[in-house]
Amino acid sequence: MMQPPLEQLTLRLDSKYTLVVAAAKRARQLLDDGAEDEPGRPKAVTQALWEMAKGQLAYERQKTGVK
């Protein structure tokens, strides 16, 4: 399965940084749910990226941070 185009993903999120953080968090959730155990399924990160590309996953970056 091919990765979704980066242009398609950046339209849904405000930056590449947000994309990486959201994909990592979702991939960890999928791995906790046992997504890796099923043969034939895409890897957790690939599945998370496709969910974001389809609009199934929403993520909002918080304005506050560590300074």
pLDDT of the residue at 67: 58
Where in the chain does DSSP place strands (E)? none
pTM to 2 decimal places: 0.75
Residue 13: pLDDT over 70? yes
At 19, is the secondary structure helix, strand, or coil? helix
Residue 25: predicted pLDDT:
92
Q: Is 62 exposed, middle or buried (0-12, 13-18, 19+ CB in 10 A)?
A: exposed
The pLDDT mean for the chain works out to 81
pLDDT band at residue 4 using 50, 70 and 90 as cut-offs = confident
- 4 or 22, greater pLDDT: 22
Q: Is residue 30's pLDDT more than 70?
A: yes
Exposed, middle or buried by CB within 10 Å (0-12, 13-18, 19+), for 22? buried
